[in-house]
């Protein structure tokens, strides 16, 4: 029984969305005595589709709440995903919708999420970035597509 429980825990832990690594941030405003507002570019690989990498830019609010994690970042972001290697996964085996990235943008339940939606008839992966909030979500969204191409050997 303990073995089954341990295997179930490992399976649930293995389906977590990817987390991004920040490449760099560019200041967009100057604050004399506190951290500046900025736009940060992050990168992550699709955890279940080797050969796809996504870059996301996100606005991050400065001020004294930033170092303490108390700021609510605006729902301003952009996403670009590309094929960087062979993609051998069968699209029919992918779920119709799967969260592949998640990042908190507020201490109060606001999150940027990226979902993968396979477009099976066109052999394309669609990545949709949205902002969610427990009480009131945002219509802000961004989209990127990755047509699956033959990869030279």
Q: Where are the domains of the chain?
A: 16-147
**Is 11 strand, coil or helix?**
helix
pLDDT of 64: 59
β 124-133/110-119 pair status: antiparallel
pTM of the model: 0.76
pLDDT in tens, 108-137: 667 788 999 999 999 999 999 988 866 666
Q: Please tell me which residue, 45 or 152, carries the higher pLDDT value.
A: 45
């Amino acid at each position: 029984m303990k073995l089954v429980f341990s295997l179930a825990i490992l399976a649930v832990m293995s389906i977590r969305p990817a987390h991004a690594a920040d490449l760099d941030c560019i200041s967009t405003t100057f604050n004399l005595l506190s951290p500046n507002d900025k736009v940060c570019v992050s990168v992550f690989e699709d955890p279940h589709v080797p050969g796809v990498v996504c870059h996301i830019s996100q606005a991050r609010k400065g001020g004294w709440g930033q170092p303490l994690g108390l700021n609510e970042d605006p729902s301003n972001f952009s996403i670009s995903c590309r094929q960087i290697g062979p993609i051998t996964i069968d699209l029919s085996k992918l779920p119709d919708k799967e969260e592949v990235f998640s990042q908190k943008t507020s201490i109060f339940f606001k999150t940027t999420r990226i979902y993968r939606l396979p477009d099976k008839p066109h052999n394309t992966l669609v990545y949709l970035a949205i902002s969610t909030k427990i009480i009131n979500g945002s219509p802000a969204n961004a989209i990127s597509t990755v047509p699956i191409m033959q990869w030279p050997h």
